[in-house]
A and B are shown apart, each in its own frame.
Chain A
Amino acid sequence: MTTLSEPRPASAARSAGPRYIFPVLVGKLARFATRLRGGGGALPGYLTNKLAPSLLSTLANQFGYGVVFVLGSNGKTTTTHMISEILRAHGLNVFTNPTGANLPQGVTSALLADATLTGRVRADVAVLEVDEGYAAELADVLAPSVILSLNVQVDQLYRFYETERVADMMLEASSRASGHVVINRDDAYLSKIDEGAMRAPVSYFGVAPALVEASAHGLANAEDTRSGESAVFHEAFAEVTGADGRAVTAVVDGAEVGFTLPAPGMHYAADAAAALTVASRVLGDAFRGERASSGFATMAPAFGRGEVIPLREGADDEQVEFVMFKNGPSLQLNIDALSGSPERMLMAIDEGTPDVSWLYDVDLSSIEHVDVVTGEKAFQLALRLEHAGIPIDLVEPDMEKAVAHMRALDATSRGRQTWFVNYELMMIGRKILGHGDQEVARR
């Protein structure tokens, strides 16, 4: 291991030990059983919580570098991944919740899988993406040292409805951080954080104003309709100062850091600034810009975020680039990150995205042509494209048939098709391409 700032002494940790063997074992067995049935699921965590309610706190308290919470409407998974890789590049052993299990029982299940039978953790730090709705509750159990709030975007309307309520949930959880609160200074709601209500000092991250202005639709954060006022300016601890495709420059605590993102996009650059802020705060003096850069370099693209898969099994000449969207802001930012209209394009959306009204809030004008529109909501998506005057070759709700159509097309000059998909159809699309046997993607 490299030189690191002092971790919390192990003696500060609540003691684990034999009394946890039974609950941990039950949790592990339940996990094994659900895996055999092909599920992931929250049952193991539930069982263990019932058997030993204090186990979770005990586990969390053992991470020498503490627990990090990642909250936000968009980008939780990507940013959790970025923070983990930066910390790993500094020699830390990182625990994270890899199966998109960001509800309390899911986090428990993930922690259990990693714990020894006597209830000890093996990692130096835990980086957890946590659902906003449960963040405060979970913070009371896991006592995070750092809480990061990425953004508040118009999303999950059918879960929370009031956007400001989502912001309040993040800020309420943030007040529980013991070491650092990390906030997006470009977000209209989050930038208005009451620093005095926090236990820990607040560090801000952001994107240089000139870059935000230059991007087609800014950062797509929600309007603050409570006050009607735009974001309050703060000096950023980490600020993105340059972005050219995947190549990004940021200034972190006064020093310039250059790195390459796994996929292009202003939202990923902002996530990177957030990750750099968190990593620097976790590591203290041990943070090194070069190590952070090498952390980004080792990041494999997450499913649906710049990942490519061969269109035909056993032939590498034509690749499919998956671009996943889950709501208006993520679709907009992914479209804005395109360099020109894709040569061959599939768009897919199904009932996994219940309300698609927001499709009409997205500016699609940089797309010139779509080959196939598919999924259960193919006609709703096609209707939207028709209103934007974008030609479509085929509307085919059946994804298998849509993929067959894409496979029958002539090779592209770049050897790459672009598939814009929601989460469920990304998983189905991967499976059709012969990549369905891998670990469940993080959402």
Chain B
Amino acid sequence: MSEQNLRIAQLYPVELGVTGDRGNVSALQARWERSSDGRTTEHVAVGRGDELPDDADIIVIGNGPLSAMRLVADDLRARSARLESLVAGGAPLLAVGGGAELLSEGVAPLEGERLQGLGLFPFRVSRTHERRVGYVVADASHGRLVGFEDHASEWTLSDDAEVYGTVTAGSGSFALGSGRGETVRRGAAYASNVQGPALPLNPQLTNTLLAAAAERRGLDFAPGAGAAELDRLADGAREAIISRAGKVFNSIGL
């Protein structure tokens, strides 16, 4: 059993889990379990002070307010070397919102002290007065990345940062040429501001993460017929989003 069992570690689900981040874990679980008979998953919640299992196959970290980021920052920094070796070794990771920002070089908030990041991804974050709220669509190497953005952050990428998506609707997280970009990639690790949550809405990315995890284990991964209903509903959701994208929701300027 254990050979076919996928362990998904979610960091700080209580503190950094306010935007449906559990859904990214659910998408990985559903697609792995439905890819072949006998495949199982384990969702490992890693809170402050908890051990990150040595054999975690995929790491997920979600979004939360600045106070939550400050609350977990020391604990996360203590895992810096471990996470660096995992990502450098090609382990799949998805970080969203506040979680992604903590894995950057650092966050400059509008008020209070700068938050030192882990430097796992080569970008810096400035919190902004303006909020970016609405659907976001970006062209990416695995297909269109779609979802919802809701952040007041501007990312500044280092020269060596690998851009994942070119924004075609919505605001995105950083400047890209004369346009905008969304999501930074490093190997099989992704730092993103795409909510929705991202993985249920983006089977192409979920499959990519699962394939990377399978490969590290010497297994094959193909979504197969078991994913048909997930794909059909995701297609419907993506179509509806794409047809409405570009319409940016008003945020009340508070």
Contact A357 B195 (CB under 8 A): yes
- In angstroms, Cα B65 to Cα A161, docked, is 7
Q: Which residues of A, 367-387, contact B by the 8 Å Cβ criterion?
A: 376-380, 382-384, 386-387
Q: Is A359 positioned at the interface, with any CB of B under 8 Å from its CB?
A: yes
Given contacts A158-B131, A225-B67, A351-B244, are A383 and B18 in contact (CB under 8 A)? no
- In angstroms, Cα B17 to Cα A225, docked, is 11
Contact B150 A355 (CB under 8 A): yes
Q: Which residues of B, 103-146, contact A by the 8 Å Cβ criterion?
A: 131, 133-134
Contact B148 A357 (CB under 8 A): yes
Q: How far is the CB of A190 from chain B (nearest CB, A)?
A: 15
Identify A383's interface contact among B19, B68, B237, B251, CB under 8 A.
B237
Give the interface segment out of B51-59, B87-95, B179-187, B226-234. B226-234
- In angstroms, Cα B63 to Cα A358, docked, is 11
Give the interface segment out of B23-31, B76-84, B157-165. B23-31
Q: Is B205 positioned at the interface, with any CB of A under 8 Å from its CB?
A: no
Q: How far is the CB of A71 from chain B (nearest CB, A)?
A: 15
Contact A379 B200 (CB under 8 A): no
Q: Which A residue sits closest to B29, measured CB to CB?
A: A387
Complex interface: chain B residues within 8 A of A384 (CB) = 23, 200
Contact B65 A357 (CB under 8 A): no
Contact B200 A159 (CB under 8 A): no
Contact A158 B236 (CB under 8 A): no
Complex interface: chain B residues within 8 A of A355 (CB) = 19, 133, 148, 150, 195
Q: Which B residue sits closest to A164, measured CB to CB?
A: B67
Contact A361 B22 (CB under 8 A): yes
Contact B66 A379 (CB under 8 A): no
Contact A228 B71 (CB under 8 A): yes
Q: Is A160 positioned at the interface, with any CB of B under 8 Å from its CB?
A: yes
Complex interface: chain A residues within 8 A of B148 (CB) = 354-357
Contact A159 B20 (CB under 8 A): no
Contact B66 A162 (CB under 8 A): yes
Q: Is B1 positioned at the interface, with any CB of A under 8 Å from its CB?
A: no
Complex interface: chain B residues within 8 A of A397 (CB) = 240
Q: Is B196 positioned at the interface, with any CB of A under 8 Å from its CB?
A: yes
Q: Is A52 positioned at the interface, with any CB of B under 8 Å from its CB?
A: no
Complex interface: chain A residues within 8 A of B131 (CB) = 158, 161
Contact B71 A387 (CB under 8 A): no
Q: Is A309 positioned at the interface, with any CB of B under 8 Å from its CB?
A: no
Complex interface: chain B residues within 8 A of A225 (CB) = 15, 64-65, 67-68, 71
- In angstroms, Cα B133 to Cα A377, docked, is 17
Identify A386's interface contact among B17, B229, B249, CB under 8 A.
B229
Q: Is A414 positioned at the interface, with any CB of B under 8 Å from its CB?
A: no
Contact mask for chain A residues 381-421; partner B; CB cutoff 8 A; 1 contact, 0 none: 01110111000000101000000000000000000000000
Count chain A residues whose beta carbon lies closer than 8 angstroms to a beta carbon of B: 36
Q: Which residues of A, 139-178, contact B by the 8 Å Cβ criterion?
A: 154, 157-164
Work out how many contacts link A and B, with CB atoms closer than 8 A.
120
Contact B150 A158 (CB under 8 A): yes
Complex interface: chain B residues within 8 A of A158 (CB) = 131, 133, 150, 249, 251
Contact A358 B20 (CB under 8 A): yes
Contact B19 A357 (CB under 8 A): yes
Contact B251 A157 (CB under 8 A): no
Q: Is B152 positioned at the interface, with any CB of A under 8 Å from its CB?
A: yes
Q: How far is the CB of A106 from chain B (nearest CB, A)?
A: 14
Q: Which residues of A, 335-379, contact B by the 8 Å Cβ criterion?
A: 351, 354-361, 376-379
- In angstroms, Cα B20 to Cα A133, docked, is 25
Contact A357 B20 (CB under 8 A): yes
Q: Is A226 positioned at the interface, with any CB of B under 8 Å from its CB?
A: yes
Complex interface: chain A residues within 8 A of B68 (CB) = 223, 225
Q: How far is the CB of A121 from chain B (nearest CB, A)?
A: 30
Q: How far is the CB of A131 from chain B (nearest CB, A)?
A: 10
- In angstroms, Cα B197 to Cα A159, docked, is 19
Contact B67 A387 (CB under 8 A): no
- In angstroms, Cα B241 to Cα A162, docked, is 26
Complex interface: chain A residues within 8 A of B23 (CB) = 357, 359-361, 384, 387
Q: How far is the CB of B22 from chain A (nearest CB, A)?
A: 5
Contact B236 A361 (CB under 8 A): no
Complex interface: chain A residues within 8 A of B191 (CB) = none
Q: How far is the CB of B40 from chain A (nearest CB, A)?
A: 15
Q: How far is the CB of B103 from chain A (nearest CB, A)?
A: 18
Q: How far is the CB of A29 from chain B (nearest CB, A)?
A: 29
Complex interface: chain A residues within 8 A of B22 (CB) = 360-361
Q: Which A residue sits closest to B23, measured CB to CB?
A: A360
Contact mask for chain B residues 1-21; partner A; CB cutoff 8 A; 1 contact, 0 none: 000000000000011011111
- In angstroms, Cα B9 to Cα A7, docked, is 60
Complex interface: chain B residues within 8 A of A376 (CB) = 240, 244
- In angstroms, Cα B241 to Cα A351, docked, is 10
Q: How far is the CB of A102 from chain B (nearest CB, A)?
A: 13
Identify A387's interface contact among B64, B65, B200, CB under 8 A.
B200
A-B contacts, 25 listed (Cβ < 8 Å): A154-B18, A157-B18, A159-B254, A355-B133, A356-B148, A356-B196, A357-B20, A357-B197, A358-B20, A359-B20, A359-B23, A360-B200, A361-B17, A361-B20, A376-B244, A379-B236, A379-B237, A379-B239, A380-B201, A382-B236, A382-B237, A383-B234, A383-B237, A386-B30, A387-B26
Using A223-B14, A395-B236 as known contacts, list a sample of 15 further A-B pairs with CB atoms less than 8 Å apart, ordered by residue number in A: A133-B254, A158-B131, A161-B65, A162-B67, A355-B195, A356-B148, A360-B23, A361-B20, A376-B240, A378-B236, A379-B234, A379-B239, A379-B240, A383-B201, A395-B233
Shortest Cβ-Cβ A-B pairs, 10 listed: A360-B23, A379-B236, A357-B20, A360-B20, A225-B68, A379-B237, A383-B233, A226-B67, A357-B19, A225-B67
- Listed in ascending order, the chain B residues whose CB lies under 8 Å from chain A are 14-15, 17-23, 26-27, 30, 64-68, 71, 131, 133-134, 148, 150, 152, 195-197, 200-201, 229-230, 233-237, 239-241, 244, 249, 251-252, 254
- Listed in ascending order, the chain A residues whose CB lies under 8 Å from chain B are 133, 154, 157-164, 223, 225-226, 228, 351, 354-361, 376-380, 382-384, 386-388, 395, 397
